[in-house]
Every structure is written in C-alpha cells, then in structure tokens.
Structure 1
C-alpha cells in the first residue's frame, strides 16, 4: 500500500465517478482503477460495490475511507513539520576558521554579514588545522576558511579569496635583508624559529625544505608574535606568511619573499558531495564579493 494509492482512493471516494477522479489526479481512468484494485488485493477487502451503474463504497470501503483520511492527514502534517525543520536548519550557519581572520581582514566582513542577516543563527569557531578539517568532514561546519594547500581538492571545493606568500623574516643587518627575493638554498645554514608543528605553515615550510633537499636547523617553534621578538634579538631567522609578519612587524626587521614556492591561497571550502544550504550559499557569495 502506497500513499499514492491512498490519495487515489480518497479522490475516487470524494468524486462522483472514477472518470472525474482520474481527471482530478491527471491520470487515465484505467490507471486509477488498477491502483485501487491493487489496494483492494493487498487489504483483502472489497472497497467498491461495482454491481451498480455507479460504483459506490462498500461498508468496508466506508470504514477504510475514514482511516485513509487519517493516514493522509498525518502524512501531510509530518511533511509540513519536516519542511519547517528544514527551513530552521537552513537558517543556521556553522563556520570554522583557522586563527587568521584579522590578518586577511575577514573579521569586519563577517560582522557586516551578520548585521545584514539578523534572521540567521551564526556560529563561528576558530580552531587549528586538524580540528578544522575534521569538523568539515563530520559536518560540524557548513563552510571553513582555510589555506588551499591543506586540502585534497578531489574531496573539497575551494573558493580563493586572497593570495599570500612565504617570506624570510630577517634582521635588517642580515646579508639577504636588502634582496628582492631569496631562495631557501641561500638560507640553508641559518638557524630557524618556525611556527608550531600543528600548523599548516610549519608543514608547508618543512615540505619546502624537503623539496629543496635541505635539512634545516630548527632552534624551536613559537607563535608569530614570539617569533618576531626572537628574530629581533638575534636568536635566529624565521619563515612566516607575509600577512603574519605585517601584523607584528618591527622597524628593525625585514621580510624578504622566498622565490620558487607556490602562492599560499586563502579561501572558503566545502565538501564536494554535499549541497550547500541557502544560508551557506548566501554567506559564500557575500564573502567573495567583499574581499
């Protein structure tokens, strides 16, 4: 027994003839008759008295008609409730991000989006690399702000917002400080202070060293603000994104781009096999048009 058969039966019971019911349901009269006969066969009941000129409901048919109305009403109430739930879901937005919003001027964009869409329940969570990707995979986030090189592009769609690059952070009296660019090979004998190992920038640096055939001497790891202070007092040099250096730059330091490396693309990502909610699509288009 299907809901379609129940709807056909109800329509037939409420119409003067099977012909009128078929016209209402936009099917042929023979198709309507076949579906009602299948229903009778499954129920093992005769629902229609066909001995008269116009088919009328049998007592069993009268009883089933009342039950069919209950089933149909419950079905449509359930579908309406599900629809309200889906609408509610579409008004929630869960965003994950690396801790880099301020350096790419994203904080103000997010604030203005929320002000423009007060109807949305907006959630923003700042996490590190592994938690960010895990959260997207587990559907904890609708969208994430991420660096492109962190993603498997077979699994995720990436929308670039801006480009960054790796720079060598050097004291201004360093021999390479006045150069327009510098290679990793030129810096291979230096002592490095790098970002923490759980960050994508650390992994990007280590992969770049590996590709260049360099085994770097790493003194320690630290956050960007601590790195800038350490380079300033002569503990070593560092590799940072240019945007990070701009946040914490000091007059005594220079930032020289590393040549031969791919750009560090920053953007928004989502799973390829999952359709975006209307809220997520709205947010994505807003961010893309305001960066």
Structure 2
C-alpha cells in the first residue's frame, strides 16, 4: 500500500467526486481512478459506491477513512516536527477560528506575530463551534479560537482570553440609530437578523432577548458576519454583533448602539488537545497570544481609568 493511495482516497472521499479530487491534486483523473482501484484490490473490499454523479463511501470505506485520516495527520505532524527541529522559525501553525474573528482579530494577531517571526507559515480553518472543536480533536488544527471556551471537555482544553461586548446594530435611518445607548427591550417589536443554528452568537442574542422580556421575531438568518451586517444596513431588521465584527468593509453600514440592559457579552477562548504537547512553533504562538490579550486588557483598563 502506497502513501499516495491514501492521499488520493481521502481526497476523493471528501470531494465525493474523482474529477474534482484530481483537479485539486493536479493529476489526471485516470491516475486517481487507477490508484483507488489498486487500493480496493489490495484491501479486497469496495470503498466507494456510485450515487448519481457522485461517489459515496461504503461502510468499509467509512471505517478505512477514519484510520487513513489519522495516518495522514500523524505523518504531517511528524514532518512539521522535523522541520521545526531543524529551524523552529520555519514551522507552520494550523489555526482555527469562527468567521466573526476573521475580519480584524486574526489579521491583527498574525501580523503582530509575524513581525517577530517572519518565516512562520499559517494554515487557517474557519468553522462553527462544533466543527472547530472537532478539528482540534482530530488534529487538523493545533490551536483554535472558539466562543465560548468549553468549561469541561474530555479531549480539548484551553483558557478564556477575551470578553467582548455585543452592540445593537440598526438600519441607519432607524429612530434609535442616533442614541448613545438603548435598552434591549426597546427592540422587542423589531424583526431580527440572526445567525443560523449552530453558530455560537445565535444563543447569546436569543438569551439576551429573553432576559429583556421578549422572544425575538426572526426575519432573516445568515452564516456570515458581513451578511448579517449588510441585511441590517439595508433595513431588513436589527441584530446584535460583537464590536470586532463591526469594522467597516463597504459603503453600506448599519448604525452601532450600545446596549445598556441587559449587558450582553461573549467570551472567546483558545483551545488545544488535552494531554498532548503542542508543536514548538504552536507553543510559541500560544504564549504570544496570551501576552497579546493580557496587554490589550491592561491597556483597555488604563483608558477607562483616564476617562
């Protein structure tokens, strides 16, 4: 059995299509088909079944997929460790994070880190809370930002590094758009634009509305911060978003108003696999992040004292 066969098998299983897998692998479709066929012959079992134009893993294929992914992840980690041993400054950090952090936070911390470590590479993976936890568990990322940080988990551990305030966002012509702050209850008759099920910000907004004495009427749902912000700016409803998700990215922007009651926040944690040593370069980045956010909080407290 060749390593190349495992790479091809995993890629086809994820794409569910030989042609698309071949395009990503930059090889001929016939080469992928041949390697899959040889793998099936060696195992003595069918790994895929044709389902319309796509391929679907058989039960045996699903079993083999789990092991193949572990093998390839371990091999990738071993190669990284060798490279780090030879030169820690040329390692790679695999970092996961939710979409809402990709607008400003991730570019900021990576830019700051690379000022001291310019040769370190990054591989990013975005996702929802459950998928980010899963990516850490499977070893597909070394570190991941999540919101909130899981308090108790069998396979991952971490620490809360940031608490962030959520603001009400309103259409620019909304009667409350010019207010410095509002009670969340003042939005009880509004249509809300919320994240879809599975996104961690959705239950935070939902619970805040319940604390304010009402159940939000949901008119639109989205999966990207820009979508939520754009729909609100276009007059489709109101919402709550964390401050770092409100950096202007286009001409059409919603109004941002502080919510004084109830005070709505979210916590952001940094997690990694339990009982497993992080790669050297990831440990360097982890220390940098803890120092970065600690200094950020101290600076914020100092500014508040001066006001």
Find the counterpart in structure 1 of residue 262 from structure 2: 260
Question: What are the ranges of 5 or more consecutive residues in structure 2 without an aligned counterpart?
Answer: 1-77, 85-90, 294-307
CA distance in 2, matches of 1:269, 1:118: 24
Compare 88-97 and 132-141 and name the one that shifted more: 88-97
Report 1:1-291 matches (<5 A): 87-88=81-82, 93-111=93-111, 113-114=113-114, 116-117=116-117, 122-147=122-147, 149=148, 151-155=149-153, 156-160=157-161, 162-222=162-222, 223-248=224-249, 253-258=254-259, 259-290=261-292
CA contact (8 A) 2:160 2:267 kept: no
CA distance in 2, matches of 1:234, 1:113: 39
Q: CA deviation at 1:190?
A: 0.9
Q: 1:125 to 1:86 in 2, by over 3 A?
A: closer
CA distance in 2, matches of 1:249, 1:180: 23
Question: What are the ranges of 5 or more consecutive residues in structure 1 without an aligned counterpart?
Answer: 1-83
Find the counterpart in structure 1 of residue 26 from structure 2: none
Query: Structure 1-normalised TM-score?
Result: 0.58
Q: 1:273 to 1:179 in 2, by over 3 A?
A: farther
Q: Please say which structure displays the higher CA radius of gyration.
A: 1
Aligned length: 205
CA contact (8 A) 1:103 1:247 kept: no
Q: 1:262 to 1:173 in 2, by over 3 A?
A: closer
Q: CA deviation at 1:118?
A: 6.5
CA contact (8 A) 2:167 2:256 kept: yes
CA distance in 1, matches of 2:80, 2:198: 37
CA contact (8 A) 2:171 2:235 kept: yes
Compare 162-171 and 129-138 and name the one that shifted more: 162-171
Q: 1:237 to 1:85 in 2, by over 3 A?
A: closer
CA distance in 2, matches of 1:125, 1:248: 21
Q: 1:104 to 1:265 in 2, by over 3 A?
A: farther
Query: Structure 2-normalised TM-score?
Result: 0.56
What is the Cα-based RMSD across aligned positions, in Å? 3.2
